[in-house]
Amino acid sequence: MIIDIHGHYTTEPAALGLFRDRQLAGLADAARRPSPGSLKISDEELIESVQPQIKKQQERGGDLTIFSPRASGMAHHVGSADISAVWTSVCNDLIHRVCTLLPQNFAPVGQLPQFPGRAPSECIPELRRIVEELGFVGVNLNPDPSGGHWSGEPITDRSWYPLYEVMCELDVPAMIHVSSSCNHNFHATGAHYINADTTAFMQLIQGDLFKDFPTLKFVIPHGGGAVPYHWGRYRGLAQELKRPLLAEHLLGNVFFDTCVYHLPGMELLAKVIPTDNILFASEMLGAVKGIDPETGHHYDDTKRYIDALAFLDAEQRYKIFEGNARRVYPRLDRRLSARAADSAA
């Protein structure tokens, strides 16, 4: 099975965008703020909206995509904490509906109602709702809900601990994923995303988070940002900071996806990062949707790059494409095992 752990709902029906526009207009006039029940999208519209993802999934040999709301659309810095909470629940409910309608193609991951200056613990009710009631297999966690100003505490700070306690209780991992940037110095996908991936990893080096939460799991997307390319730098910094070696300090809990959009980058990732810590992903349809003029193929057809890595053996390929995802997302594994049992019966 080919499991893509990084897919976003980037082809939402137009009604969702209109709902968001009305919601934000309500900042000036609360009477104009829409209720969640006012959003009307039929099952047929939802199924039609994800056909581009399904088409690419089938063309590229994929089987299942872990599906979450549009990352840039989370926009935790926009509006108010109350608006973020409503927006989050609306987006998560749509993900639930898509994954319920098309369980062979998608498994659900949710966003959290984060907001600058608010305690991460305020996200716990929504986390419990989507996991315990809606069957989500993971969450996206924004290390910078300020939108590029980094005004909050590092993800190793104790203010995050109540949220991590519940994540461990529920046995769900988090993908470390920022949203849109409101800082004009940082292009969202070209700079802010990669900055965040790299920054989160360095924060984890500096802290002792996994001593307190030995079962907590994070996925750092986009190939880990600058981390694999500068692996020697981070190993050296860990030594200078009197941290344990990275393999024992972080690699039991931190994983990297394969949203790397050229073959040399994928080769580097697969040679530097242990196979047990790499999960297949494409972010399709997402950050880079064009065709590479040097190859004639889409940049985000990441399976093609992995297939071209002759130094990977069959066991390594299985881990990257399926085994690691089932291990890091245990609720996904249970979902797939139950489906296989039902088919066998």
CA 174 – CA 14 distance, rounded (Å):
28
Report the run of H or E that residue 103 belongs to, with start and end. none
Active-site pick, 153, 283, 294, 315:
283
Q: Return the SS3 of 165.
A: helix
Quote the tokens at residue 302: 């990441």
Chain center to CA of 201 = 15
Helices (H), the chain: 14-25, 43-49, 51-59, 71-74, 81-101, 124-128, 161-170, 193-206, 209-212, 231-240, 246-249, 263-272, 302-307, 314-318, 324-328, 330-344
Under 8 Å between Cβ of 228 and 257: no
Report the run of H or E that residue 110 belongs to, with start and end. strand 106-110
- 283 in active site: yes
- Which residues are catalytic, by number? 283
